[in-house]
Amino acid sequence: MGSPASSSAASGGSISSILSLGNRDFLISPSGSKVSVEELEGKTIGLYFGANWYAKCEKFTPLLTEVYQKLKEQGTEFEVVFVSCDEDQSSFEQFHGTMPWVAIPFGDLQSRKILNQRYDIEGIPSLVILSPNGQLLQTNGVELIRRYGSQAFPFTPSSIRELIAEEKANHDSQTLEKLLATNGRDYVIDHGKQVPISNLVGKTIGLFFSALSYPPCAKFTSRLASIYRNLREKHDQFEIVFVSVDKDESSYSQCFSEMPWIALPYNVESTKLLSRYFDVQGIPTLIIIGPDGKTLTKEGRNLINLHLEMAYPFTEERLKLLREKMDEEAKNYPSSLNHAGHRHALNLVSENSGGGPFICCECEEQGLGWAYQCLGCGYEIHRKCVREVEGKGTSENSLPASDISFAKSSSGL
Residues forming contacts to Zn ion in the complex (CB under 5 A) are: 344, 360, 362-363, 374, 377, 382, 385
Q: Looking at beta carbons only, is 128 or 346 nearer to Zn ion? A: 346
Nearer to Zn ion, 86 or 362 (CB): 362
- Of 246 and 380, the one with the shorter C-beta distance to Zn ion is 380
Min CB(288)–Zn ion separation in Å: 22
Closest separation in Å from C-beta 354 to Zn ion:
14
With respect to Zn ion, which residue has the nearer C-beta, 259 or 377? 377
Q: Closest approach of Cβ 62 to Zn ion, in Å?
A: 32
Contacting residues for 160 by C-beta, under 8 A, at least 6 apart: 138, 144, 148, 152
Give strand pairing partners of 349. 371
- 3-state per-residue secondary structure call for the chain: CCCCCCHHHHHCCCHHHHHCECCECEEECCCCCEEEHHHHCCCEEEEEEECCCCHHHHHHHHHHHHHHHHHHHCCCCEEEEEEECCCCHHHHHHHHCCCCCEECCCCCHHHHHHHHHHCCCCCCCEEEEECCCCCEEECCHHHHHHHHHHHHCCCCHHHHHHHHHHHHHHHHCCCHHHHHCCCCCCEEEECCEEEEHHHCCCCEEEEEEECCCCHHHHHHHHHHHHHHHHHHHHCCCEEEEEEECCCCHHHHHHHHHCCCCEECCCCHHHHHHHHHHCCCCCCCEEEEECCCCCEEECCHHHHHHHHHHHHCCCCHHHHHHHHHHHHHHHCCCCCEEEECCCCCEEEEECCCCCCCCEECCCCCCEECCCEEEECCCCEEEEHHHCCEECCCCHHHHCCCCCCHHHHHHHCCC
Smallest separation (angstroms) from Zn ion to the CB of 2: 24
CB of 357 to Zn ion, least distance (A): 13
Shortest Å distance, C-beta 300 to Zn ion: 17
How many Cβ atoms are within 10 Å of 52's Cβ, its own excluded? 21
Q: Which is nearer to Zn ion, 316 or 329 (CB)?
A: 329
Q: Rounded to the nearest whole angstrom, what is the least distance from the CB of residue 367 to Zn ion in the complex? A: 6
Nearer to Zn ion, 96 or 382 (CB): 382
* Residue nearer to Zn ion on the CB measure, 289 or 360: 360
- In angstroms, what is the minimal distance from the CB of 301 to Zn ion? 13
Q: How far apart are CA 144 and CA 284, in angstroms?
A: 22
Of the pair 301, 344, the CB lying nearest Zn ion is at 344
Residue among 167, 203, 182 nearest 277 (CA): 167
Judged by CB, which is closer to Zn ion: 57, or 377? 377
Give least dist CB 361 to Zn ion, A.
8
Nearest-angstrom CA–CA distance, 294 and 172: 8
Closest separation in Å from C-beta 406 to Zn ion? 14
Q: Nearer Cβ to Zn ion, position 115 or 381?
A: 381
